[in-house]
Amino acid sequence: MKFRAIDFVVVFVADMDRAITFYRDTLGIAIAGGEDPHPVWNELETEPVTVALFANTDSAGSNASIGIAVDDVQAAVDELRASGHAVAMDTIETPVCFMATMHDPDGNTLILHQRKDGTAG
């Protein structure tokens, strides 16, 4: 077998409508296929690796962390707090990046990430 690439990452969610609202409206990530989400499976426009939301109440909140590239981590943290969302870990600086963590409505960890060299992906 020859590894080619990662095609998608699945995020288990308990309530698809709530997840769509969070990922689309709070984080600003478009839903593939437009404005008519499916009740069980939806893909987010996060190229080159797709993030798929899968309605599964038994596994919701039990995923690996997902790093989300943003232009300015601190501005993203400030915006999230201003809209009433909790931030789990305030912005920290490493030699190569800035990052902070938060949780989606199901408790999945999201890492807000900003590389110092300006690259993403």
pLDDT single digits (tens) 29-62: 999 987 788 999 999 999 888 899 999 988 888 8
DSSP H or E stretch at residue 11: strand 8-13
Alpha-carbon gap, residue 111 to 99, rounded angstroms: 7
Amino acid at 78: D
pLDDT at residue 57, as a whole number: 87
CATH for 7-55 (2.60.40.10, 3.40.50.300, 3.30.2270.10, 3.10.180.10): 3.10.180.10
pLDDT at residue 1, as a whole number: 67
What's phi and psi for 5, nearest 5 deg?
-175, 170
What tokens does 64 get?
A: 């690996």
pLDDT single digits (tens) 105-117: 999 999 999 999 9
Alpha-carbon gap, residue 90 to 97, rounded angstroms: 14
CB atoms within 10 A of CB 36: 7
pTM over 0.85: no
Alpha-carbon gap, residue 86 to 20, rounded angstroms: 18
CATH for 63-121 (1.10.3720.10, 3.10.180.10, 3.20.20.70, 3.40.50.300): 3.10.180.10
Q: Do domains 7-55 and 63-121 have the same CATH topology?
A: yes
pLDDT at residue 70, as a whole number: 93
pLDDT at residue 46, as a whole number: 92
What tokens does 70 get?
A: 């943003």
Alpha-carbon gap, residue 107 to 65, rounded angstroms: 10
Binning pLDDT at 50, 70 and 90, where does residue 120 land? confident
User: What number is the average pLDDT over the span 87-99?
Assistant: 94
pLDDT at residue 4, as a whole number: 72
Domain range annotation of the chain: 7-55, 63-121
User: What number is the average pLDDT over the span 9-23?
Assistant: 94
Helix or strand or coil: residue 21?
Answer: helix
Q: Which is more confidently placed, 103 or 3? A: 103
User: What number is the average pLDDT over the span 56-73?
Assistant: 88
